[in-house]
Amino acid sequence: MPKIQLKTIIKADIETVFDLARDIDLHQKSASQTNETAVAGKTSGLIEEGESMTWRAKHLGFYQTHTSKIIEMKKPQKFTDVMLQGSFRSFRHQHIFKIEGENTIMIDVLEFESPFGIIGKIFNFIFLKNYLKIFLSERNQLIKSISEMNSKSNSGNINY
């Protein structure tokens, strides 16, 4: 099963980073290149444990839907979502947050499995793993820039 691990160092408090990582509106903004929108379940605001959301997006030239559920949450250290329905055979995304000095370390651990047996494994190796890594990296850079901007302003309200 392919696994992607990303580590993002953010100069902001852990609570801000944690909340931005589970903000559905920010996720839609970060995925605008794929026209990703929340279409069912929780569709706006901060997702909580036990809640689900269905995304509709254009990936690889096709519109697809993906329904995930938050199965675990320990504020502000981690939350995990798993796919309930979608194009993958399995999909599990752990979001982990740690304090290191004045920084928050945001760690993504994404494990997924494509359908279609050996053809899916080849597709993962040649293309999909890198595609998903770039997708997550772009999202993380937006979370980083907004967290750091809001941390400096200390206005109490998150702006993006």
Q: How far apart are CA 128 and CA 117, in angstroms?
A: 14
- Beta-carbon neighbour count of residue 111 at 10 Å? 15
Q: Are 14 and 97 in contact (CB under 8 A)?
A: yes
- pTM value is 0.91
Q: What is the pLDDT of residues 95-153, one digit of tens each?
A: 999 999 999 999 999 999 998 889 988 888 889 999 999 999 999 999 999 999 987 65
Tokens 């279409």 -> residue: 39
Q: How far apart are CA 80 and CA 69, in angstroms?
A: 8
Per-residue model confidence (pLDDT) at position 116: 85
Lowest mean pLDDT among 28-42, 55-69, 90-104, 140-154: 140-154
Q: Are 51 and 69 in contact (CB under 8 A)?
A: yes
Domains with residue ranges and CATH for the chain = 3-153 (3.30.530.20)
